[in-house]
Structure 1
Amino acid sequence: MEKPLDKDETYRRRLIMAAHRRGFLEAELILGRFVDREIMNLSSEELADLERIMALEDLDLWEIICRRKKTPPDLNLELLEKIRGMLPAPPVSG
């Protein structure tokens, strides 16, 4: 018999599914990569912060991730920086 899912595990699964089903491909790729690598390491508070970040419209979120738009003060900046860490490195010119 399978063990019932606890509240955080159910929450994590819902966030994983939401990250992989974005309307904007770039946001989906970055958020999907982030949740695949980090979701099990996030605290309950960070999960709630991630949900707030993911509630943003895709284009707004993308502009914030790329630092083209100011980060709203209610977002967890440390978590946002971890998400930004999923961006590919810019090409080296030379």
Structure 2
Amino acid sequence: MGLFSRLFGSKKKEQDTIEIQPYEYKGFLIYQEAQPEGGQYRIAGRITKNIEGDVKEHHFIRSDVLSSQADANEFMLTKAKMFIDQTQGKIFN
């Protein structure tokens, strides 16, 4: 069976679990989660906030791709802050 699973790819790849440290901004937690795509990184992440014991979450993925994961995450952080400011913190209302 081991031979067949290697041939047909049914053996699961080990996935690295990386704990993402959130960035706190005006009571929101911003998680930078760039997604690898075709040798580049798509700008993606989520914004969360604890509202009366209930954690609300907003995911977003942009069409932009950048050459490095660090650049994609930095751009995501900038966009998330801008989104929070433009909505005046009322993302979950």
TM-score (norm 2): 0.30
Structure 1 or 2: more strand by fraction: 2
TM-score (norm 1): 0.30
Structure 1 or 2: more helix by fraction: 1
- Decide which structure has the larger Cα Rg and report it: 2
Q: Which has the higher contact order (CA 8 A, sep 6+)?
A: 1
